[in-house]
Amino acid sequence: MSIDAPREIAFFQPPVIRVTGLAPLQPITISVINGDPQRTDAASRARFVPDLSGAVDTSRSIANGDYEGIDPMGMFRRPRLGQQFPLSGTVKATVVVEDENGRALARRSSIAGSFPTT
């Protein structure tokens, strides 16, 4: 299994997350966790069902969770703690993929982005 996510994200470009090597049609949860020590952690979670090839692509796959539908920016705009991605300044995040039982299947760290300060 692999996670393909950008190492850097831009304020104006949707950060597409792709996960491959999954069991087809077996639901997974993708979480994006803000790990910036300067801020309170914020996380966004959504459930996806891999296609017949065992892949999830946030630009094409339907999400059900902290946001609904197809939205590549959904994982970054709708964290559960009431904060908003993108936050101003630099955001460092980790992508975690879990199975239906909450067991971590894969993790990708060091996604970073710089956003305008307000």
Least confident of 11-15, 32-36, 76-80, 87-91: 87-91
How many domains are contained in the chain?
1
> What is the reported pLDDT for 93?
79
In a domain, 90, yes or no: yes
Contact of 98 with 31, CB cutoff 8 Å:
yes
The model's confidence at residue 76, banded by pLDDT at 50, 70 and 90, is confident
In a domain, 117, yes or no: no
> What is the reported pLDDT for 42?
67
Question: What does pTM read for this prediction?
Answer: 0.80
CATH number of the domain bearing residue 22:
2.60.40.2240
At residue 77, the 3 state secondary structure works out as helix
- Tell me the per-residue pLDDT of 32-62, one tens digit each, with 9 for 90 and over: 887 654 554 567 889 999 999 999 999 999 9
Distance between CA atoms of residues 63 and 113, nearest Å: 23
In the chain, how long is the greatest CA-to-CA distance?
43
In a domain, 118, yes or no: no
Residue type, position 70, single letter = I
Structural domain boundaries, residue 67: 2-112
> What is the reported pLDDT for 37?
47
Measured in degrees and rounded to the nearest 5, phi and psi for residue 23 equal: -70, 125
> What is the reported pLDDT for 54?
97
